[in-house]
Chains A and B, each alone.
Chain A
């Protein structure tokens, strides 16, 4: 197993290298130098601003040297300093906002699993039943619905008309005066809508995937064997079929990481959640270059980590993977 993990880690090195190159290229993609662009776009960009940009990117040096300097700094998590008023280190700004983004993504992933697996299994076991058809329609709508729009509708319904849930931030104004239990409840109330919504898109995909997996597995010979030896339908479906149908779900979860992280920009902006996505959006609007590049890089690394965790869990669950 350790050998397998080591192999995956080695495999990740060229990807990580590639990620730094893409980040670097995106950074230099702007016509002319980033300094030109900033000054053209922004009449308020002062000589001081230009100087800071120049210093940050070492723009006077040859390109490969710029890249090496940049990667060298990355290696020690030095992502430079923010261009905004506070001029704080980018890494620090991102790290303080990362936990809430990860919390929301992990919660929505759990929600996706808890709902999508039963939906997919039931649809497959009762193929063409009313439940299957309703689930099918739901899946199609789930794929097509713009989640930010759904967010608006739910905000109108639960936040304004019914006034059940808060629609902004992660804490109420009186948070500090609440007793611990109430404070926790307050946090939960603030998280319900964002978590439910970010789960929604993935829910459709995974339940459909689960359904087709299950249909595939049910047709296998070993399922027929299980039935032939007289096992109850329950045991056949939930013990023999489900386990095998669940395996590929691990990979899909790993693959859904970039989508979830990318989606956090929209949710955090709509619900004013102080996470990495909101920071990203604000930095894009303010053209806070170092923060944008830093988050782009961190986002890719998080995806890479998600895939690694998925690969390792798959290997833990399925011994065949480890051998081949």
Chain B
């Protein structure tokens, strides 16, 4: 089963392209201090809004900072937000989904109704409302994106649990005296991880998009910390004179999100070719 997965995965063009993009992004984020040509926060008022040139490949911003360097450091931020936010969402979603699917009855009804209620709120509204209360900081952003993104995972895990709990291996485990917690986490959850993995990969993409939109609106990652979203804010403010501030960070977001989406699709196809 597992070797089959990898065989299919490496044969799948979408999956390979996606994993390459994600790998490159990881390398860039890790090596940011060494590969960034300039200090991302070095202000140079003599070179304000300079067009792309040999010394500043992506130009400079309104404070004369090197845009390419800020984008490289921004990759770190988006990666961090993507993973932490998705981690939170997966954790909540997996636990609630497992409990709902495994125990069924009233607890299932309560949890799933709660999911329905949460899905009524436009996610972006919910995030903004909470941000209005808290100070916008990278940690708050991650937590809020995570807290508003677990509903889909809950539904997936619940569906897996309701069908898996009737299977023979679960009955066997119960027969030899395994407790509920053991059955949920050791026996059933690993079998439900496939759909969670796909949801998580796509979730990282979604979280990165949300973070960039929030930072663009000025309520996400706060300057001077560089993020793709807040470089785009400067792009909007200088829209008629500095196209490079708008073009490059957006391309970075597009490529990143595309990479994670392709990877997620690739994993899905390789896990179960019938689902295509």
Contacts and interface: CB of A to CB of B under 8 A. Distances in A.
Check if A and B associate. Answer: yes
Given A29-B133, A292-B129, A270 B257 contact: no
A133 B236 CA distance: 33
Interface string A33-65: 010010001000000000000000000000000
A18 interface: yes
Most buried by A among B119, B122, B240, B253: B122
Interface string A116-158: 0000000000000000000000001101111011101101100
Given A18-B114, A152-B250, A265-B124, A293 B236 contact: no
A284 B261 contact: no
Given A18-B116, A303-B121, 14 more contacts: A15-B120, A18-B114, A26-B129, A141-B254, A143-B257, A143-B258, A149-B249, A152-B236, A152-B250, A265-B124, A266-B213, A270-B236, A304-B120, A307-B120
A259 B213 CA distance: 14
A281 B125 contact: no
A98 to B, nearest CB: 14
Contact of B261 (A143, A263, A266, A281): A143
B239 A149 contact: no
A299 B121 contact: yes
Contacts of B212: 146
Interface of A is mostly: helix
Contacts of A30: 133-134
B217 A160 contact: no
Interface of A: 14-15, 18-19, 21-22, 26, 29-30, 34, 37, 41, 140-141, 143-146, 148-150, 152-153, 155-156, 160, 258-259, 261-263, 265-266, 269-270, 280-281, 283-285, 287, 289, 292-293, 295-296, 299-300, 303-304, 307
B117 A296 contact: no
Contacts of A266: 124, 213, 216-217
Interface in B210-250: 212-213, 216-219, 232, 235-236, 239-240, 243, 246-247, 249-250
7 contacts: A22-B117, A143-B261, A145-B257, A149-B249, A156-B246, A293-B129, A307-B120
Interface in B176-224: 205, 209, 212-213, 216-219
Contacts of B240: 156, 160
Interface string B80-122: 0000000000000000000000000000000001101111111
A204 to B, nearest CB: 11
Nearest to A11: B116
Contacts of B122: 258-259, 261-262, 299-300, 303
Contacts, number: 138
A22 B209 contact: no
Interface of B is mostly: helix
B262 to A, nearest CB: 7
Interface of B: 113-114, 116-126, 128-135, 205, 209, 212-213, 216-219, 232, 235-236, 239-240, 243, 246-247, 249-250, 253-254, 257-258, 261-262
B206 to A, nearest CB: 10
B236 A261 contact: no
Contacts of A285: 218-219
A292 B219 CA distance: 15
Contact of B128 (A153, A160, A265): A265
Contacts of B118: 22
Contacts of A307: 120
B274 to A, nearest CB: 13
Given A149-B232, A152-B236, A22 B262 contact: no
Contacts of A270: 236
A148 B261 contact: no
A292 B129 CA distance: 6
A148 B132 contact: no
| Across the A-B interface, the 8 shortest Cβ-Cβ residue pairs | A149-B250, A262-B122, A262-B124, A18-B117, A144-B257, A144-B258, A258-B122, A284-B132
B262 A140 contact: yes
Most buried by A among B205, B216, B247, B261: B216
Most buried by A among B120, B135, B219, B247: B120
